[in-house]
């Protein structure tokens, strides 16, 4: 079944697309399907997605790169900058930036000592206190157990 749209509907849709309005809003307002919007946008030479996204301010890019190089976890960079993980990776990957590698050996040793002393703390509590992931502690304990055999 072929659906035809009026020139006015198409013109309004194209205008809304150019304004950066979401396709879901345009379909609700104009009655054009998402497929039709894509078709007419391509026909007009309009690209959606990353091509139309606003570039980040140079200060924001610099902030992302500095946080990344300082070894700040991606989830924390997301919270601090308000940018998505894909945006963060876009501005950090391929740029030669390397995240700072944290040496957590001291934290792991402290966590093992706390675990072995059995001070009525859960693994979760210990890991939170020394700032390591529980899996890291379990792996270290497993390695320690294998070495003692």
84 SS3 class: coil
User: For residue 10, how many other CB atoms are within 10 A of its CB?
Assistant: 19
CB 100 within 8 A of CB 71: yes
- What residues of the chain score a pLDDT lower than 70? 1, 47-54, 94-95, 97-103
Q: Is residue 123 helix, strand or coil?
A: helix
The span from the CA of 32 to the CA of 30, in Å, is 5
Closest to 68 in 3D by CA, of 50, 33, 34, 95:
95
pLDDT score at 52: 43
- What are the tokens at 116? 């072995």
Distances (CA, A) of 74 to 71, 128, 131: 9, 18, 16
Residue 147: HSE in the Cβ half-sphere, 13 Å Cα cutoff = 6
Mapped onto helix, strand or coil, the DSSP state of residue 129 is: helix
The confidence score (pLDDT) of residue 12 equals: 92
Reduce the DSSP state of residue 22 to 3 states and report it. Answer: coil
The answer to whether the CB of 26 falls within 8 A of the CB of 38 is no
């Amino acid at each position: 079944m072929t659906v035809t749209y009026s020139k006015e509907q198409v013109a309004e849709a194209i205008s809304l697309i150019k304004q950066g309005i979401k396709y879901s809003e345009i379909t609700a307002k104009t009655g054009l399907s998402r497929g039709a919007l894509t078709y007419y946008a391509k026909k007009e030479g309009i690209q959606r997605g990353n091509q139309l996204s606003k570039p980040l301010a140079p200060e924001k890019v610099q902030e992302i790169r500095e946080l990344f190089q300082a070894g700040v976890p991606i989830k924390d960079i997301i919270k601090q900058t308000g940018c998505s993980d894909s945006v963060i990776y876009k501005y950090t990957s391929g740029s030669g930036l390397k995240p700072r590698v944290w040496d957590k050996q001291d934290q792991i040793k402290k966590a093992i000592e706390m675990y072995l002393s059995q001070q009525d703390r859960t693994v979760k509590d210990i890991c939170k206190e020394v700032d390591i992931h529980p899996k890291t502690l379990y792996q270290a304990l497993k390695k320690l157990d294998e070495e003692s055999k």
